[in-house]
Structure 1
Amino acid sequence: MKKSIKYKSILLSFILVLFSIGCTNLDEELYKQINADSFYQSYQDIAAGIARVYEHTSWALCNDGSLWKVGELTTDNMSITQKGRHWYDEGNYVKLHGHSWNYIFGDFYTIWRGMYQGVGYANNFYNDLENVIKPNVEKFNITTEDVETLQAEMMVLSAIFHMHILEVFGPGGVIFTPDMGGDERPESETGTALFDFIEKTIVENIGKLGNHVSGTKDDYYGRVDQATAATALVRLYLNANVTIGQEKFAECKVECEKILDGDYGNYELDNSWQLQWNYNNDLSKAIIWCFPGEKNWLRRTTMPCNNHYQTKYFFRSEQGGSCNGPHLQPSQDTDGSFFEDKYAQGSPYQRYFDGDERRVPMHIEDDGTRQGIFLIGTQSVPGATWAGEPAFSFASEEWKFSGNQDTLYFPDRIGRFSEIVSAWQQAGDSRYAGFVDSHNFKYVLKNATSSELKSISSDVATPGLGITKGEENTGFRLNKYPIYPDVFEAGGWNYNSDFVAMRITDVYYALAECELRAGNKERAAQLLDEVRVKYFTQIGANEAATRKAKFEAGEIEDLREPPHSWYEATTETGNIDEFWMNASYVQNPELLDMDELLAEWGREYIGEGFRRMQLRRFDKYTKGRWWNKSVDSDSKYELCPIPLRALNTNVNLVQNPGYQSH
């Protein structure tokens, strides 16, 4: 009989194994190690074995955050600024933003260790399946085919871990296979060997994998299936021009078309762009591979520390606050001028088209209805309360001028604005009293002089130094995964949302890039527009129309000025068709070129950890310029260095060019 193993059951089995270890006989009995023959006694033990591999996979690719930091904070989309006495962290985020790291940087070792630990777990379980389970399939009431499917999963997971090594550290990583001993110290690979191993491993195992039925929680939900393996191949081929210096766009196109043709399952775009991120995203047909999360059972970190401590009042959720780290890079300098007029890259918020709902300030109703993905401007409604607290109890450390009654306000600018208010206070300037009475940050934006605002600019000449000039309310906050009010059935942060690792949009965009590079702009435009049109909603049109009305009435000086709050952002009614007509690549083919495609990759995948490879693929990573980041002085920063601790462990490793070896 064929017996599939459900991922949720696997994880619950792993939890039960941990509890059973800690809650039974406490008599001391020492072991150096647990023999595999002794451990595997039942079907449940197999579930516990595979759970360990997937648990680590979710940690390394999702919960840890180091891979995300390198993928986003070194690019033109996201930053973690120092906020007063918080988040300097030995200058780590200065180094990431300014591209000034070295081989002792901690996050590099965390990535290296995490990926190779994942390889080790996958290889170990592969061997257990081969040596213990396969010869005794009758005992475990499974088939040889079941065992080989699990082995194929382990091999593809190993390939995915090796692929992350290739992307971060380059072709000089090492290869570990199941037949190698744990004490082996392999030499750094050269040329295309690491790439070839990844490709060969996926190709040889993809046919042995199962097929998840999209939009269901079937036996393969959250597990590596054929579509996962195929999408990994798409990514491998798409990035080959920078990972091994060889273009594989033709191979990428072939694999993309197989996926879209349904060769590996019934994946498709959802009717709503929101479903793939929402609490019920297990119903999404767009998600190819994810790490399941479920309230009261299994928590996933969707983005590390992205919200302010006090956003719980805005979300009306006890779990709505966070440790106040990442935010969008600014689209405006402190004086309100726009960086897109100065730099070809960066300005992530301003890259969104008029009519795109992602420009609308995020808000979530008590029934779970949501809009937008960014926390923008004022995070309270005057006079509102939640949990017995007034809406103005949002003061952070720099903003306590009004007796803890200052409204939390997120600007699309980075600078020490509180220093302007402090100067007013010390000088006895009447504007200080006006600010105190206003209870709102935007009073500073409206009443400070241009010279005062320019004096605190963070767009300084030294790359990365601008990171030290943030405040606790700095920057728009990204929340693709919504945080629901506690009164909602799925309330309590976003624990019910499954973390998306791969989605069908990956395939649409990869194929569009292949087509555009081949000169097939019309086909590329069609593919991109199939995804993009879903973002152009009535509420997006209303925001654009409201902004236009305010500009025409003289309430704002520039049509690009973002809203000051969610509740005043959509007071006018806009024409959806008009805004989409102006944004569509099919209707406006002159809009679409390679620079625009790079910008579109940034819009679609902001905050998902992929921006570094996107920039590298377009040769805009070390050669690009954006806020507080000039062209790199050394191309060595295309790759991260092999970490010192790895070099000390394995003397056969060869450091990447330009970095210190010991």
Structure 2
Amino acid sequence: MKKYISILTLSAGLLFQACTKLDQEFYSSVTPETFYKSEKDIKAALFRPFTHAKWYLGEDRWRLQEYTADNFAITTKGRHWYNGGENERYHYHKWTADDGWIWGTWRGTLMGVALALDTKNDLSKLDYTKFALSADQQQADMAQLDALISYFYLRGLDYFGGMPIFESLDQESLPRNTDQELFLHIEKLLKAALNNLPAKKTGDKEEGAIRKAAVAAMLAQLYFNAEAYIGKPMYEESRQLSQALINKEYGDYQLDPTWNGVHGFKNNNSPEIIWSMPSEFKMLEYNWFYADFYHYNTREYFSQDMGGNNGAHLTPSRKPDGTLYSSDFKLGSPFETFSAGDFRKSPYRYLGTENYEGMFIVGPHLSPDGKAILGGEEYNKQPLNFVDQVARFSEVGQGKKYSSVAQLPSKMSEGEENTGIRLVKVPIPNLANNTLRWGADMPVIRLAEIYYMLAECEFRVGDKTKAVSLINNVRKRNFKDNIDLNPVTTANIDKYRFLDEWSIEFIGEGRRRTDLIRWKAFTTENWWDHSPSNSSHLNRFPIPNQAIAGNNMLEQNPGY
């Protein structure tokens, strides 16, 4: 823990040395009482661990959740993206304790805890009245930091199981606590924070602060997945909290009336968002996603100036011959899981003045003025057409590797530059409206998740009717005149329909692996180019070898 803080302090010191000419006055030591001069300084300190949380929500954490599951893949595309077999290892559940995404996630989790503890240590020593702030405000700030520590540990519990529990910056090289001990620590912090944070009032905008409802939601999430975490079902506890959230007992939230209100450029105004990470132009919080998903020439599609790396896409719904995979496996096929008539299933198109439609890049790749966008690899100088398939169609023909489409294999090694449908969950404006770029905040918790958690809890205790009603209340906004063309019914609701609904509503929001594990499907089900391992130890990632090398008190997870 000290090591993380030392690295961060050193980085800050180097930054100031490079950018600031210091006055000829030096201090032998800096204490919170001498460093903090105003309320602005307190807020800056409080926000620092939240900027780490913003980073933590994306990149490697997102990749561990999504590329190991059934909705997304990074296929090898000719000479691109094999990456030493890394992408295939995650897809086939053959990762190792040396893989980078796993190390980045372990390290990032504990760095988040360290940053929050560091800030908490400083702010707890201050006399807030000297800054014209109340003791209640100080207590609320401490509660926000406890909730943020809980968030990092909750994610760490999900990825790794038990982790070392740090409660002070003086501790280092601690052994791992058990899953149960970490679960109880998270629960204790959240329950304490719940009593000391304000609730959202009607008309309040979401600005990134953790309020009472976000803490209640995290506690509900902890209980919701308790069976996977500690082997004890706690759906009733999650059900009670979820119902209370929907009843507005922890603040005034309601479902957004439009499908894209929670994801659009001004989503901080959405009544549905319980907690989000703020964003703004040029801060590039989503540039990792843009780079992973979009073709080099997709900038012409968006009428933008950013080129992508053309790696990731949805797993295919169709075989090379065009027939659906639906009879081959029950998971995956994410694009065709969306019903016909669903607003989200349309191709993405920016309409100007902050408006857009659709959520996917699919079919002929055209610029806003209708001009064909050309490829640069297998389809060099030919029009691009993004297909819901994975196969080397460019190698079919007379004198080529395959004489017919029927011979084409479909697997991780067989991608092309136009392989796979691309998700546009975060809207992209054109250059004319470029001040909107990255304007959409990153939702962490939204009320739709609470509806779905409550629905699943009700289903598990036998109330199918209520479960169906809760899901359909969310689904209907995605259809014209709120008329759902494929509603959930008491006849069709089961494990697989639930997994479909979680996939549809939260596609690309970095949670898929957790949902599969809760339904005991992560290691037991097959999907495109993935066979089940039936090895339950894979529900947890290994403790990175780099972490163990730095702390020989850490024990590896079973099975690795």
Q: Which has the larger radius of gyration?
A: 1
Among 365, 372, 387, which residue is 1:392 paired with? 372
- Do the aligned residues in 2 keep the contact of 1:647 with 1:653 (CA within 8 Å)? yes
Establish whether residue 186 from structure 1 lines up as the match of residue 87 from structure 2.
Answer: no
| Shift in CA distance, 296/98, structure 1 to aligned 2, threshold 3 Å | closer
Among 472, 482, 487, which residue is 1:584 paired with? 487
Establish whether residue 505 from structure 1 lines up as the match of residue 448 from structure 2.
Answer: yes
- Do the aligned residues in 2 keep the contact of 1:361 with 1:376 (CA within 8 Å)? yes
Establish whether residue 258 from structure 1 lines up as the match of residue 244 from structure 2.
Answer: yes
| Shift in CA distance, 356/143, structure 1 to aligned 2, threshold 3 Å | same
Residue in 2 aligned with 1:629?
Answer: 530
Residue in 2 aligned with 1:473?
Answer: 418
Name the amino acid aligned to 1:311. Answer: T
- Do the aligned residues in 2 keep the contact of 1:214 with 1:286 (CA within 8 Å)? no
Shift of 1:489: 6.7
Among 386, 391, 394, which residue is 1:410 paired with? 386
User: RMSD over aligned Cα, in angstroms?
Assistant: 2.5
Task: Tell me the secondary structure at the aligned position of residue 187 of structure 2.
Answer: helix
355-364 or 142-151, which deviates more: 355-364
- Counting aligned pairs with the same residue, the percent is 33
Per-residue Cα deviation, 1:270-306 (whole angstroms, up to 9, x for no partner): 1111111111111100111111112256744483522
| Shift in CA distance, 20/369, structure 1 to aligned 2, threshold 3 Å | same
Establish whether residue 614 from structure 1 lines up as the match of residue 559 from structure 2.
Answer: no
Residue in 2 aligned with 1:521?
Answer: 464
Per-residue Cα deviation, 1:97-119 (whole angstroms, up to 9, x for no partner): 00001111111110011010000
Establish whether residue 155 from structure 1 lines up as the match of residue 146 from structure 2.
Answer: yes
Residue in 2 aligned with 1:482?
Answer: 427
Per-residue Cα deviation, 1:201-260 (whole angstroms, up to 9, x for no partner): 100111111233476436xx2011111111111111111111111100000001001111
Equivalent-residue separation in structure 1 for 2:190 and 2:160 (angstroms): 20
Among 165, 169, 183, which residue is 2:160 paired with? 169
- Do the aligned residues in 2 keep the contact of 1:214 with 1:288 (CA within 8 Å)? no
- Do the aligned residues in 2 keep the contact of 1:302 with 1:481 (CA within 8 Å)? no
Matches within 5 A, 1:324-473: 324-380=310-366, 384=369, 391-400=371-380, 404=381, 406-420=382-396, 423-424=397-398, 426=399, 452-458=404-410, 466-473=411-418
- Do the aligned residues in 2 keep the contact of 1:513 with 1:524 (CA within 8 Å)? yes
Shift of 1:322: 2.1
Task: Tell me the secondary structure at the aligned position of residue 583 of structure 1.
Answer: coil
Equivalent-residue separation in structure 2 for 1:381 and 1:200 (angstroms): 53
TM-score (norm 1): 0.78
Among 61, 71, 75, which residue is 2:57 paired with? 61
Equivalent-residue separation in structure 2 for 1:87 and 1:283 (angstroms): 39
Equivalent-residue separation in structure 1 for 2:486 and 2:524 (angstroms): 28
| Shift in CA distance, 486/608, structure 1 to aligned 2, threshold 3 Å | same
Establish whether residue 531 from structure 1 lines up as the match of residue 531 from structure 2.
Answer: no
Among 187, 191, 196, which residue is 1:203 paired with? 191
Equivalent-residue separation in structure 2 for 1:517 and 1:41 (angstroms): 53
Task: Tell me the secondary structure at the aligned position of residue 627 of structure 1.
Answer: coil
Task: Tell me the secondary structure at the aligned position of residue 192 of structure 1.
Answer: helix
Equivalent-residue separation in structure 2 for 1:334 and 1:28 (angstroms): 71
In the alignment, structure 2 segments of 5+ residues that lack a partner are 1-11
Establish whether residue 653 from structure 1 lines up as the match of residue 554 from structure 2.
Answer: yes
Residue in 1 aligned with 2:227?
Answer: 241
Task: Tell me the secondary structure at the aligned position of residue 443 of structure 2.
Answer: strand
Shift of 1:374: 1.0
Establish whether residue 83 from structure 1 lines up as the match of residue 77 from structure 2.
Answer: yes
Task: Tell me the secondary structure at the aligned position of residue 340 of structure 1.
Answer: coil
- Do the aligned residues in 2 keep the contact of 1:293 with 1:300 (CA within 8 Å)? no
- Do the aligned residues in 1 keep the contact of 2:339 with 2:486 (CA within 8 Å)? yes
Equivalent-residue separation in structure 2 for 1:371 and 1:518 (angstroms): 38
Residue in 2 aligned with 1:7?
Answer: none
- Do the aligned residues in 2 keep the contact of 1:279 with 1:490 (CA within 8 Å)? no
Equivalent-residue separation in structure 2 for 1:73 and 1:487 (angstroms): 34
Residue in 1 aligned with 2:103?
Answer: 109
Establish whether residue 39 from structure 1 lines up as the match of residue 35 from structure 2.
Answer: yes
Task: Tell me the secondary structure at the aligned position of residue 323 of structure 2.
Answer: coil
- Do the aligned residues in 2 keep the contact of 1:17 with 1:48 (CA within 8 Å)? no
334-343 or 111-120, which deviates more: 334-343
- Do the aligned residues in 1 keep the contact of 2:255 with 2:447 (CA within 8 Å)? yes
Name the amino acid aligned to 1:322. Answer: G
Shift of 1:71: 0.4
| Shift in CA distance, 479/393, structure 1 to aligned 2, threshold 3 Å | closer
Equivalent-residue separation in structure 2 for 1:122 and 1:393 (angstroms): 47
Shift of 1:615: 0.4
Task: Tell me the secondary structure at the aligned position of residue 208 of structure 1.
Answer: coil
Residue in 2 aligned with 1:98?
Answer: 92
Equivalent-residue separation in structure 2 for 1:483 and 1:416 (angstroms): 30
Per-residue Cα deviation, 1:400-427 (whole angstroms, up to 9, x for no partner): 2xxx2x112110001112222xx54x57
Residue in 2 aligned with 1:594?
Answer: 495
Equivalent-residue separation in structure 1 for 2:156 and 2:297 (angstroms): 37
- Do the aligned residues in 1 keep the contact of 2:246 with 2:450 (CA within 8 Å)? yes
Establish whether residue 273 from structure 1 lines up as the match of residue 259 from structure 2.
Answer: yes
| Shift in CA distance, 614/31, structure 1 to aligned 2, threshold 3 Å | farther
- Do the aligned residues in 2 keep the contact of 1:307 with 1:325 (CA within 8 Å)? yes
Equivalent-residue separation in structure 2 for 1:28 and 1:106 (angstroms): 44
| Shift in CA distance, 242/302, structure 1 to aligned 2, threshold 3 Å | same
State the aligned residue count: 548
Task: Tell me the secondary structure at the aligned position of residue 293 of structure 2.
Answer: coil
Task: Tell me the secondary structure at the aligned position of residue 182 of structure 2.
Answer: helix
Equivalent-residue separation in structure 2 for 1:300 and 1:347 (angstroms): 25
TM-score (norm 2): 0.92
Equivalent-residue separation in structure 2 for 1:348 and 1:357 (angstroms): 15
Equivalent-residue separation in structure 2 for 1:327 and 1:591 (angstroms): 29
Residue in 2 aligned with 1:560?
Answer: none
Equivalent-residue separation in structure 2 for 1:399 and 1:33 (angstroms): 63
Among 292, 312, 317, which residue is 2:299 paired with? 312
Establish whether residue 140 from structure 1 lines up as the match of residue 131 from structure 2.
Answer: yes
Per-residue Cα deviation, 1:602-623 (whole angstroms, up to 9, x for no partner): 1111111100010001111000
Residue in 2 aligned with 1:71?
Answer: 65
Equivalent-residue separation in structure 1 for 2:425 and 2:486 (angstroms): 22
Equivalent-residue separation in structure 2 for 1:274 and 1:302 (angstroms): 21
Equivalent-residue separation in structure 1 for 2:28 and 2:166 (angstroms): 24
Name the amino acid aligned to 1:647. Answer: I
In the alignment, structure 1 segments of 5+ residues that lack a partner are 1-15, 386-390, 428-447, 459-465, 539-575
- Do the aligned residues in 1 keep the contact of 2:351 with 2:357 (CA within 8 Å)? no
Shift of 1:628: 0.5
Shift of 1:490: 4.8
